[in-house]
Amino acid sequence: MVERKPIIVGNWKMYKTISETRTTLSALRAAVQDVDSVEIGIAPPFTSLAAAAEVLSGSNISLAAQNMHYGDAGAFTGEVSAPMLLDAGVTHAILGHSERREYFGETDDLIASKVKAALENGIVPILCVGETQVQREADETVSVVTGQLSGALSELRGADLGTLVVAYEPIWAIGTGLTATPEQAQQVHEIIRDFIGDLLGGVVAERLRIQYGGSVKPDNAAELLAQLDIDGALVGGASLDSESLSAIVHAA
Ligand code: PEP
């Protein structure tokens, strides 16, 4: 059986100034300095990347972007490319977050281009998928999630996908305080792994790390992370506080 190193990533969304970034990350760095069995990442807003890179230099915390354009350079006002992110010290990118799909019209085709560009540039793509409350109640969870996966990945070959991370984030659990039960989350994670196996082969599926996201907190993290197919967490609200993110890391 393949060992999958748990990966915990904090998504700060549109929060924190540069000075707040420095304070929070200095505290986080100290709180997790002894951890080597968990991969840790932080996705600050773009304005804080330089400060975050400085504070995290030489630490066990990686720098992630919350979004990325698929091109290397060009006339794309407001966008940031993979080479620019690499230059800023970024190693991971959250792609296709439900907030980007909902508020900025990101489609599976666009997200597919971003995943491909991330992989080509050596950035670890964290591909987010998940269903709404209405879709879950209509029994559409599996078709929505597998549709998002095939939309974003079907043009890629298994060999290209070594570093891919998938984040299962039920939209009804994001920022709401509602969490999928460990059993509900495990059920979808297992379906995701089986589907990736069919799409890209058993080796990719076995190696694939699948994060859970949706109101992960210090008090529910251990139970979620104990599930067989849950290999980490994508953490929004609770990642803004160094103590709670560190507690989640230690739970993993
Ligand atoms: C997220 O935005 O990816 C997320 C999981 O947020 P929260 O932890 O606040 O639900």
Distance in Å, CA 159 to ligand 1 centroid: 30
Whether residue 232 has its Cβ less than 6 Å from ligand 1? no
Q: Is 97 a catalytic residue?
A: yes
Give the sign of the dihedral formed by CA 236, CA 242, CA 245, CA 249: positive
Catalytic residue among 97, 99, 131, 189: 97
Distance separating alpha carbons of residues 183 and 212, to the nearest angstrom = 12
Whether residue 167 has its Cβ less than 6 Å from ligand 1? no
What is the Cα 71 distance to its own chain's centre?
21
Best residue among 7, 8, 11, 128 to mutate for probing ligand 1, ranked by most atoms within 8 Å of CB: 11
For 221-241, write each residue's pLDDT tens digit.
999 999 999 999 999 999 999
Whether residue 169 has its Cβ less than 6 Å from ligand 1? yes
Please determine, for residue 160, whether its predicted confidence score (pLDDT) is greater than 90.
Answer: no
Which domains does the chain carry? 7-251 (3.20.20.70)
Please determine, for residue 23, whether its predicted confidence score (pLDDT) is greater than 70.
Answer: yes
Residue 154 burial (CB < 10 Å; 0-12/13-18/19+)? Answer: exposed
Detail the DSSP E strand segments found in the chain.
7-11, 39-43, 61-65, 92-95, 124-129, 165-168, 209-213, 232-235
Q: What is the mean predicted confidence (pLDDT) over 66-94? A: 98
Q: Is the pTM of this model over 0.95?
A: yes
Q: Which residue has the tokens 């060009």?
A: 74
pLDDT range class, residue 158, cuts 50, 70, 90: low
Number of H helices, E strands in the chain: 11, 8
For 197-223, b where at least 16 C-beta lie within 10 A, e where not — what string?
Answer: bebbeeebbebbbbbbbbbbbbebbee
Best residue among 235, 239, 240 to mutate for probing ligand 1, ranked by most atoms within 8 Å of CB: 235
Q: What is the mean predicted confidence (pLDDT) over 166-173? A: 96
